[in-house]
Amino acid sequence: MLDILHNIIFDYTLRNVALGAGVLGIISGTLGSYAVLRRQSLLGDTISHAALPGIALAFLITGSKSTAILLLGAALAGWVATLIMLNIIRTTRIKEDTSLGLVLSVFFGFGLVLLTYIQKLPTATQAGLEKFLFGQAATLLAEDVTLMAILGLIALFLTALFWKEFKLLSFDADFGVTLNFPMQAVNLVLTTLLVIAIVIGLQTVGVVLMSAMVVAPAAAARQWTNRLGIMVLLSALFGAGAGIGGAVISSLVPKLPTGPTIVLCISGLVLLSIFLAPARGLLWNWARQYRNRRNFRAEAVLLDLYALAQQHQNRLHGHSAAVLKTMNLNRAAVNKCLEILQERGLAVSPVSGIWGLTEAGLRKAEQLAKTHGGKP
């Protein structure tokens, strides 16, 4: 453990990868929250896949492989893809999901064609652009991380600045227009920040998997909170955790690629959140359903006891459990229900196998009979 901490600080490669992955996690988690809330998760996927030809063209046009130039190409391609997608929806009868799928596949295919072409070029400097497919975190240089951090800080600052405008855009954009906010301009800013967030992560996680980093942290965070501010914060935290965790794990296990490991980490967080979160989590809801069903069955048995008791002067007269079992479809559960009723002081068993209502049980049964209108 101490070894890892030591390495994170002093090992050049691990330090860069961990920092880069952490920055990427924070930014994609933050902006991904808005993408998820605005139902734009697929758009994130399209932008990241569309970045590939942008990177290839940037190299072909400038001959440079500097990260800044390549990421600029990626951002421009991402933006062009978004505009084309919107135009297709506006001018044809094609719907949003089809338009996204079209743009994604055409751009990505074009990108692959360009990559193959570049690989066949006679120059020796052509190697290395394939790293943007699945990411190659080990190639992160200190200046790359610095660039990521600067872009990330700008994105975070703008998110904080436009906080209420982004909230308005995501919840009720039309209402924003009537308040005289130029919501199209706000949309432009938010989409640009999303493109920046995606482009920041391409070197680490690659175009194919980047959409996971946009969507998963926010999806996980949504499970735990009902407040937008907490959700964005948690999403950034989850993203950073998955980033740093993935970087560390892949450094410990030989031949484990960093990008996919990070994505596995965040996927694990999503699974945990889906199961364990209170209120929205599956386990919590299963437990609540189980408790409800148990209550209903116990109430049914209580009403059965009540019905039997009606036939005697002494309402607390006991009856055998066997009789109760014949009155209930779910025979096996009757014993359990009787135990529950006893726990709650509503029924009592003076002799083994014989059950009767208590005073409290009688009152409760009368109350239930009124609201339920008798045995169904």
Measured CA to CA, the distance from residue 220 to residue 76 in angstroms comes to: 30
- Binding of other proteins at residue 174 (CB under 8 A)? yes
Q: How many CB atoms lie within 10 A of CB 323?
A: 13
Q: CB of residue 292 vs other proteins: minimum separation in angstroms?
A: 18
- Binding of other proteins at residue 157 (CB under 8 A)? no
- Binding of other proteins at residue 177 (CB under 8 A)? yes
Identified binder of other proteins from the candidate list 10, 122, 123, 226, rule CB under 8 A: 226
Identified binder of other proteins from the candidate list 12, 117, 157, 175, rule CB under 8 A: 175
Nearer to other proteins, 177 or 271 (CB): 177
Spatial contact of 347 and 361, defined as CB atoms under 8 Å apart:
yes
Identified binder of other proteins from the candidate list 117, 163, 275, 296, rule CB under 8 A: 163
Q: CB of residue 180 vs other proteins: minimum separation in angstroms?
A: 4
Identify the DSSP state of 347: E
Identified binder of other proteins from the candidate list 131, 167, 297, 325, rule CB under 8 A: 167
Distance set, CA 103 to CA 59, 76, 126, 135, 198 (Å): 22, 14, 27, 22, 17
Q: CB of residue 286 vs other proteins: minimum separation in angstroms?
A: 20
Residues 6+ apart with CB under 8 A from 214: 28, 31, 32, 35, 41, 44, 48, 194, 197, 198
Q: Which stretch binds other proteins (CB under 8 A): 128-136, 218-226, 264-272, 302-310?
A: 218-226
- Binding of other proteins at residue 168 (CB under 8 A)? yes
Sole residue written with tokens 């860069």:
16
Identified binder of other proteins from the candidate list 225, 267, 335, 358, rule CB under 8 A: 225
Q: Give the pair of three-digit tokens for residue 185.
A: 């301009």
Nearer to other proteins, 34 or 59 (CB): 34
Residues 6+ apart with CB under 8 A from 163: none
Measured CA to CA, the distance from residue 301 to residue 344 in angstroms comes to: 13
Which residues of this chain interact with other proteins, rule CB under 8 A? 37, 39, 161-165, 167-168, 170-172, 174-181, 222, 225-228, 231
